[in-house]
Amino acid sequence: MRGDTVPAPLSDAKRTAFRWIEENSAWLSAFDLEIWRYAEPAWREYKSARAYVDLLKRHGFAVEEGSGGMPTAFVATWGAGRPVLGAYAEYDAVPGNSQEAVPYRKPREGLHPWAAGHTDPHSMLGVAALTGVLAAKYAMERHGIDGTLRFFGEPAEKMCGSKPIHAAKGYYDGFDAFVAYHPSYYPKGTNTVAWETHCGSYWSCVFTFECVEPERWIDRRLFPTVGGAHAAARYPGALDALCLMYTLTKYVKEAMFPHTGSWTLNEFVLVAGDATADNLPPRFAQIQYAWRSPSLEIQEQIFRVLANNARQAAAATGCRASLRWVSKTRVGLPNRVLARVAYENLELVGPPRYSEEARAFAREIQRNLGLEPMDEPFSDDVEEIIPPEVYEATIRSALPAWQQHFTSDDYVEYTWHAPTVRLFTARPRLRPPHPSYAYPAWADNALGGRPEIVDPGMFVAGKVIAATLLDLLTNPRILEQAWEEFRERTGGGIGGSGWVGPLLPPDVQPPIDLRWPEYVTTVRGEEWWIPTPTGQASIEL
């Protein structure tokens, strides 16, 4: 599939884009740190989204804010006519990962120690894509290149939240191609592109239990003459339903699907009862389930078990059960034509290079953990470009032959609406002193807040994204071949026999109103939704 899709070694437009990135790297690096410091979790990325929107407007983009009914989503558009090319930013952080950019464990000052922090980090992901799109835009202006760039702000990626909603509401229709990017630390997969094996499916929903009529639990004639309701058997209530749902699912988890296919199921208690007196039942409780697997058929089987468990738990406790979808993604659709173009541009740009300053910070973490600092403290491959076929072989070596997808990410939604490439560049991780050693999470999170460690991979990605966009804008044959492959894989293109449409309905309501973790403003100032401990707030047991 190489043919005449191989891009020119270095066009004038690419030179312009690369030069723009180099001249603007200082403020782009500072913007990455701004997003990293906000560390806002899913569906609550208010400051991060506002920062992107304001920046894109300053650079001439027309911005739709709150796209798809999601307050922290946006769509920014520049240019006119075809081709229409898309890229995106993510910017959500993860609760429980608060960390300063220092070589020792130090959660953010003035907040609960289990506040959010960037793990991947999505700050790097979003600013790399922003860099590429802005550089392509300025090269288009300079060289008179026609086309449309559209840049999405995608909140709640850790829940695979916004992209299934944008897809269901038609935001991805009418595109010619998409470029997806993610920082990477996988061995033999740090600086490369996805080839044939793409991400699998991620579904998530919230089960709600409501204790609507507790007075019906016991015959009032059985109440003792003294004490009344205080001495009667209490209605089980919503909290008991939630606990039954939790334990019942744990009991049957092993029977949900055969032990193959890399599927997972996890849960999170959103609301766990609202009782304010011991004799009154909790009236309302919610539990979120999230599961990932390599096929939609496995996803559906897991959901059937969960829904049945919810019905049984509700029946046993006299409650009413309902569910609300949070996410429902498809699986990834490869496109080798675009993958080859992006990889050729990665070879053109070259791998990231890390300074002695970056390595010195990494060694300081090792020293503070009681380890012998290493001459080369980062993992293998961070300064190497890995051919996609090698990356593919590494992934396939751990998978059964029948399994076509692995892990999950909601970029897969783009892949069903236009040819899409998935790019990776290094996000360094520390080299373990021996294979069984695991660094604490704070160490990886601290690396994500250091420009000398993040910037090399971020700006390599920005240049590759810009170059790939420019190839798509200036070489129609690339898009022709990419769409030929897209039609082959979907049985005729969009609507074809093998095409899979969005799994959520067009009128889906984003789950923005649910009780997600967030930063709040109180009379005490800004704090995490779990109040910051003060003084002797708790006693360790």
pLDDT in tens, 118-160: 999 999 999 999 999 999 999 999 999 999 999 999 999 999 9
The CATH topology of domain 203-328 is Alpha-Beta Plaits (3.30.70)
| Per-residue pLDDT reduced to its tens digit, 26-70 | 999 999 999 999 999 999 999 999 999 999 999 999 999 999 999
What residue ranges of the chain are covered by domains with CATH 3.40.630.10? 3-196+334-490
Residue 227 pLDDT grade (very low, low, confident, very high; cuts 50, 70, 90): low
The 10s digit of each residue's pLDDT in 187-205 is 778 999 999 999 999 999 9
In this structure, whether the domain defined by 3-196+334-490 belongs to CATH 3.40.630.10 is answered with: yes
Domain with CATH 3.30.70.360 in the chain: 203-328
Q: What confidence score (pLDDT) does residue 531 get?
A: 86
Band (pLDDT 50/70/90 cuts) for residue 401 is: very high
Task: Say how many CA atoms lie within 13 Å of 336 toward its Cβ.
Answer: 13
Per residue in 341-358, pLDDT tens?
A: 999 999 999 999 999 999
DSSP string, 67-129: GGG-TT-EEEEEEESS-EEEEEEE--BEET----SSSS--PPTTS-TT-EE-SS-HHHHHHHH
Global pTM reads: 0.95
Alpha helices in 318-419 (DSSP H): 336-349, 356-368, 388-396, 412-415
**Percentage with pLDDT > 70 across the chain:** 95
What the block records as the tokens of 247 is: 């334990």
Q: Please tell me the predicted confidence (pLDDT) of residue 8.
A: 58
Lowest mean pLDDT among 390-394, 404-408, 460-464, 528-532: 528-532
Report pLDDT for 3. Answer: 44
- pLDDT at residue 318 above 50? yes
